[in-house]
Structure 1
Amino acid sequence: MIDWNDLSRIPLKAELYGRETYFREALSQAEGLWGERARSVLHRSALLMIKPDGLVSGKAQRIVEFLHAHDLRIVAVRKFAMHRLQWRELWRYQLTASTLDRLMVNDLVFANPCLMLCLCDVSGAALPATVRLSVLKGPSDVSQQTPDCLRSRMAQPNRVFSLFHVADEPADLLRELAIFLDTSDRAAVFEALARGALADAERRLLEDTVAESVRAPRELDARAALVRVRQAFDRRAAALDAGDRDRIDADLDAMAAGQRIAWPPFVRALAASDLDLDPWDVTILGAGFIVYDDPGASKQIVAAGQSPWLEPSRDIG
Structure 2
Amino acid sequence: MGMGTTRNPEERAHDIPPQLLAAVTRSPVKARLFGADTYLREAAWTFAEDADVLRGTTLCVLKPDAAVGRRYGTALEALRDNGFHPADVLRVRHSRLTIRETWRFQLNFADRERIAAMDLYLGSLDCVLLVLRDERHRPGDVPASVRLAALKGPATAELRRPEHLRARLGALNGLFNFVHTADEPIDVLRDLGLLLEQPRRERVRERLLARHDASEEARRICDTIEAETPPHDLDPERSLHRLTRSAGPAGDVARAGRAGATVTPADLLRAAHHPDADPADLWDLLSVLTATLRFNTPGIERIFPNVLLGAWQEER
- State the TM-score bracket (shorter-chain normalisation): 0.7 to 0.9
Cα separation, 2, equivalents of 1:253 and 1:89? 41
Query: How many pairs align?
Result: 294
| Unmatched 5+ stretches in structure 1 | none
TM-score (norm 1): 0.83
The correspondence for 1:183, drawn from 189, 198, 203, is 198
Change in 2 beyond 3 A, CA 1:229/1:120: same
Q: Does 1:308 align with 2:311?
A: yes
Structure 2 residue ranges without an equivalent (≥5) = 1-16
For residues 32-52 of structure 1, give each alpha carbon's deviation from its aligned partner in whole angstroms, at most 9, with x where no partner exists: xxx3xx222111111100011
Q: Cα gap change, 1:231/1:166 in structure 2, threshold over 3 Å: closer, same or farther?
A: same
CA drift of 1:141 comes to 3.4
Shift of 1:304: 2.3
What displacement does 1:94 show?
Answer: 1.1
Q: Which stretch of structure 1 is more off in the superposition, 3-12 or 19-28?
A: 3-12
Partner residue in 1 for 2:40: 23
1:118 corresponds to 2:131:
yes
Higher relative contact order (CA closer than 8 Å, sequence separation 6+): 1
Letter in 1 for 2:118: N
Q: Does 1:169 align with 2:184?
A: yes
3-state SS of 2:244 partner: helix
1:296 — aligned with what? 299
Give the SS at the match of 1:3: helix
CA distance in 1, matches of 2:47, 2:275: 51
Pick from 229, 235, 241 the counterpart of residue 243 of structure 2: 229
Structure 2 CA distance, aligned partners of 1:285 and 1:47?
29
TM-score (norm 2): 0.84
Which residue does 1:219 correspond to in 2? 233
What residue number does 2:98 align with? 86
Aligned AA (2:304): I
Deviation per residue, 1:204-249 (Å, 9 max, x gap): 353241465399642111111100111225xx79xx9xxx95x665
Give the counterpart letter for 1:55 in structure 2.
Answer: A
Q: 2:216 aligns with which of 203, 215, 223?
A: 203
CA gap 1:275/1:254 in 2 versus in 1, 3 angstroms: farther
Report the alpha carbon displacement of residue 93 of structure 1 after superposing the two structures with TM.
1.1
Residues 208, 271 of structure 1: alpha-carbon distance in 2 compared, 3 angstrom cutoff:
closer
Which stretch shows the higher mean deviation, 209-218 or 108-117? 209-218
Q: Is the 8 A contact 1:138 1:150 kept in 2?
A: yes
Query: Which amino acid counterpart does residue 234 of structure 2 have in structure 1?
Result: L
Partner of 1:284: 287
- For 1:204 and 1:124, how far apart are their aligned partners in 2? 23
Report the Cα offset of residue 158 of structure 1: 0.3
CA contact (8 A) 1:56 1:218 kept: yes
SS of alignment partner, residue 311 of structure 1: helix
Q: What is the percentage of aligned positions where both structures have the same residue?
A: 28
What corresponds to 1:76 in structure 2? 88
Q: Secondary structure at the match of 1:225?
A: helix
RMSD: 2.7
Q: CA deviation at 1:95?
A: 1.0
Q: Distance in 2 between matches of 1:52 and 1:63?
A: 13
Per-residue CA shift, 1:139-167, capped at 9, x if unaligned?
Answer: 23334322320001111000011210011
Distance in 2 between residues matched to 1:54 and 1:75, nearest whole Å? 20
Seen in structure 2, the aligned counterparts of structure 1 residues 266 and 56 have a Cα distance that, compared at 3 Å, is closer
Map 1:31-70 → 2, pairs under 5 A = 31=48, 35=49, 38-70=50-82
What SS does structure 1 have at the residue aligned with 2:97? helix
Distance, in Å, in 2 between the alignment partners of 1:63 and 1:280 is 21
Q: Deviations over 1:52-98 (max 9, x none)?
A: 11121111111111111111111100012112211211111111111
Distance 1:266 1:194, change over 3 A: same
Q: Greater share of helix residues, 1 or 2?
A: 1
> Does the alignment pair 1:14 with 2:31?
yes
| 1:287 partner letter | T
Residue 133 of structure 2 aligns to which amino acid in structure 1? C
